[in-house]
Amino acid sequence: MSWTERRLRETLSQLRAFGDDTSLVECKTAGGGVPEQLGETLCAFANMPQAGALILGVSERRGFEVTGVAEPAKMEKSVVNVNRSAVTPAPQLEFFHHVLDGKNVVVVEVTPLLPSEKPAKFEGKPFLRQADGDYVMNSNDLKMLSLSALTETQQHHFDFESLPGTDSALLDTSVLNTYMKTVRASRSRIAKIDDVTQLLQVTNVTDSHGNVRLGGLYALGYLPQSVEPALGATAAVRLARGEGAGRNRNLTEIEGPLPVMLAEAMDWIRRNADTVSRYTENGHLVDQPEFPPSAIREVLSNALVHRDLGPSVDVGKKVEIRLTERMLIIVSPGGLRGLSVSQLEAPSLTKAPVNKRLYEIARYLRMDDGERVIEGEGGGIQEILTAIREARLPKPKFIDNGVEFKVLFPRGSRFTKEEDDWLEGLQRDGLRLTPTEEDLLVDLRNHGGATLSGILQRYSPYSEQFCKRMLDRLTETGVLQETDGRYTLPGTRSDTLRFEAPRSDITAAFHTDGLASLGKNVPSVYRAFTPGAQVTLKELQAATGLSVAQVRYALEPLLHHGHVVMLGGQGRRGTTYRLKY
């Protein structure tokens, strides 16, 4: 994926807000030349399942401040030299140069090696990318990488392994009875099997000798952890420095069969996360859990059902639930199998179970409230994204490093304070916007207009009828306009694509007094902008009556002082500008 200036700015904004985990991005100052430990980072990114990015000219220690690279071309050559000479096999690199706040930034995207080529090594050592840095891989990490290189027919099915000396007496009677009732009601052939022993064999809970299979024990066992201690989960509140004597609070071991663990994990998150007040669609203010239960249930069930049951069990790795002041983190041992993170987030339904027999058993497991343990149709990720958006929470991050799969739920508002203030201003006349409508309006404000097809793709799994109703309502209330099938914010003209709505008196007064000192034509050029619109250099020229050179000269201090943002690159066709605030 190309690193546009827009993507780079958005990434830095996210890092500043939720910078605890930078598994996919590493920022280095690079002020004094080639950064230290560059080879380790390139090596670690090469061993990832998805591409990683090294951003040079940004200081993580200074809150991801743009510090700049003095000689971008020279830096690029130096990075290439380190990659070729010190990383084996060397991954493919792609470079992107941008100017942010008047300073050069170089983005190095590292393409991961093919599974059969891994692990990459730096100075003879294989490195792994983790949340806060690069680490030398241990033997278990290398086993996990080797599994990812196997074809489907070569894969070892750990959930199908029999546990000698065990029998159905290890199973939880209540969970087992519900399972048998559900599977009989759902599958006509199995409904004809009266013998319990035969039913358990046919559904891969036990083998032909009555031994319980690992997947059957994990799903239905009264206490599977008595046989395999790693078949559980841990939950804890991770304290920031200075909050107490220890590092964790409310550390809890979660045990039992799958439905019990899922229920206990859900309850732990409910008790330890916040309760927040939100407006419903009919305008009522109600108290709700901080994180939508439907989204949390889906992620937890996936973490439990799709976890690795091989090498990670041998070394005692459990599913982890951690709550920090910034986010909720859910970690499942083992990476994705048979699909990528981008496929996982796509609108199309995708199913790629890691443990196929366990997955089939879990389809017929039920919670005490009658809810399914897993949805079973592969569309749960879209439901997660929808529920999170409706709760006005930031979009979760899905991170796969090949050894573990991690989901991060950032806490706080989905929008910046400035965006929240803007949305509040739209609703002063009694209009009440839904979270999805708010999300759409902010997206149009930040990135320009959109067609119905683009909106349908963004807001899948909502139907076309739902999206049309939403667009019609916003158009009728005057906060949206439609021209030739393209939806934009009101006041945007198709010829200039800029807003005509007046600024507030405070904003106008501030810029009248402050911008004149930046140059003779700066106030005129600035007044050609209004919030939310993107304009080209020619459109600014037409609006101001200035020459192209005069517009360029006036834009320089506006860009340098952060009043205006350039989308694209200097001298590139299609480059546009918009107000930053």
Convert the pLDDT of each residue in 411-438 to its tens digit.
999 988 889 999 988 887 778 899 999 9
Q: What is the pLDDT of residue 17?
A: 75
Tally Cβ neighbours within 10 Å of residue 228: 17
**Does residue 20 have a pLDDT over 70?**
no
CATH of domain 233-410: 3.30.565.60
When pLDDT is cut at 50, 70 and 90, the band that residue 244 belongs to is low
Tally Cβ neighbours within 10 Å of residue 411: 18
Mean pLDDT in residue range 163-185: 96
pLDDT digits (tens, 9 = 90+) for 132-151: 689 999 988 888 888 877 76
**Does residue 15 have a pLDDT over 70?**
yes
Assign a CATH topology to domain 417-488: Arc Repressor Mutant, subunit A (1.10.10)
Domain boundaries, given as residue ranges, for the chain = 5-137, 158-226, 233-410, 417-488, 505-579
When pLDDT is cut at 50, 70 and 90, the band that residue 65 belongs to is very high
Token digits for 36? Answer: 């230290």
Q: Which option is the CATH number for 505-579: 1.10.940.10, 3.40.50.2300, 3.30.750.210, 1.10.10.10?
A: 1.10.10.10
When pLDDT is cut at 50, 70 and 90, the band that residue 508 belongs to is very low
Q: If we measure between CA atoms, which residue out of 215, 202, 207 comes closest to residue 167? A: 207
Mean pLDDT in residue range 169-198: 96
**Does residue 513 have a pLDDT over 70?**
no
Rg (Cα) of the chain, in Å, rounded? 27
First to last CA, the chain: 27
Instruction: Write the DSSP assignment of 119-155 as a string of letters.
Output: PPEETTEEEEEETTEEEE--HHHHHHHHHHTS-GGG-
Number of helices (H) and strands (E) in the chain: give both, helices first. Answer: 22, 23
When pLDDT is cut at 50, 70 and 90, the band that residue 580 belongs to is low
Q: What is the pLDDT of residue 511?
A: 44
Secondary structure in 3-state letters for 60-106: CCCCCEECCCCCHHHHHHHHHHHHHHHEECCCEEEEEEEEECCEEEE
pLDDT digits (tens, 9 = 90+) for 349-370: 666 788 999 999 999 999 998 9
Mean pLDDT in residue range 119-139: 90
Which superfamily is assigned to 5-137 in CATH? Schlafen, AAA domain (3.30.950.30)
When pLDDT is cut at 50, 70 and 90, the band that residue 223 belongs to is very high
Q: Is there a shared CATH topology between the 417-488 domain and the 505-579 domain?
A: yes
